[in-house]
Amino acid sequence: MTQNRLLSRPTLIAAGVIAAFLAIICMPLVAKAASVTLQWDANVPAPQGYRVFVRKADTAYDYTQPDWQAARPPVP
pLDDT in tens, 13-62: 888 899 888 878 776 666 667 888 988 888 888 888 889 999 999 999 99
Query: Which pLDDT belongs to residue 60?
Result: 93
E strands, 1-76, are: 50-52, 68-70
C-alpha 30/C-alpha 36 separation (Å) is 19
Which of 48, 49, 50, 53 shows the shortest CA–CA distance to 64?
53
Indicate whether this model's pTM tops 0.85. no
Q: Report yes or no: 50 and 73 within 8 Å, Cβ to Cβ.
A: yes
Measured at the CA of 26, the angle between CA 22 and CA 30, to 5 degrees, comes to 140
